[in-house]
Amino acid sequence: MDRDYLIDLFSEFGPVVLRRMFSGYGIVADGVNFAMALRAGVIFRVDDLTVPRYEAEGAKPFQYETKSKIVVVKSYRHLPERLYDDPEELAVWAREALGAAKRAAAKKSGVKKRATKLAAKPVPAKARTSNAKLSAGKKAPAKAAKSKKVSPKRARAKKR
C-alpha cells in the first residue's frame, strides 16, 4: 500500500505515523501501534470488546505462513472491505482499534507493576541480615569459589 493512500485513508481519524514494518507499515497514533498495512490489507488491533464487531462483518483474524505452519494472530483482524471507501466509518473503527491497543499496553505495564510489588515483599530474616550489611555501606562478600584443596606449596607461592 502506498504511504499517501494510507495517510488519505486515515484523514478523518486524525494524524497517523507510518513506520516501515515487514512488507508494509505499522500505523501509529498517540505513540501506540494500533494497525498494520501489509500486502494483505489493513489490519486493526482487537480485543475482547471489539472482536464481536469484526466477527459480525466477517473479518478474519490476521494470519501468516511460515515454512512449517500457519500462524493465526487473534489480536489483529482484517479491516472489512466496505470501510476502504468510507473514511468516516473507518475513523470510528480506528478509534476502537487504538483503544484496544492502549488497553493491551496497559495490561502489559500492569504485569510489570505487579512484578515490582512482588519484589518488595518482606525478606526472610536470614536474608535480611546480609541486606542490612549491604545497606550499611559494606561491600557484598564475593561468592566463594568451589573449595579446592590447595597444596601447602601453592599456598606459599600465592602469598609471595
* 17 contact partners, CB below 8 Å, separation of at least 6: 27, 28, 29
pLDDT reported for residue 88: 94
Is the overall model pTM greater than 0.75, yes or no? no
Which of 6, 52, 31 is closest to 101 using CA atoms? 31
Assess contact for 43 and 35: CB atoms under 8 A: yes
pLDDT reported for residue 110: 73
Assess contact for 43 and 79: CB atoms under 8 A: yes
Q: Where are the alpha helices (DSSP H) in 24-86?
A: 51-57
Between CA 132 and CA 28 the distance in angstroms is 47
* 73 contact partners, CB below 8 Å, separation of at least 6: 61, 62, 63, 64
Q: What is the pLDDT along the chain (160 residues), one digit of tens a residue?
A: 789 999 999 999 999 999 998 889 999 999 999 999 998 899 999 999 999 999 999 999 999 999 999 999 999 999 999 999 999 999 999 999 999 999 999 988 875 555 555 555 555 555 545 555 555 555 555 555 555 666 766 666 666 6
Identity of the amino acid at 136: A
pLDDT reported for residue 108: 84
Name the residue with cell 505499522: 26
Q: Hey, what domains does the chain have and what are their CATH numbers? A: 3-118 (3.30.1460.30)
Strand ranges, E, within the chain:
17-21, 24-29, 32-38, 41-45, 61-65, 70-78
Please report, for residues 121, 131, 139, the alpha-carbon distance to residue 115 in angstroms, rounded to integers and kept in the order given: 10, 20, 27
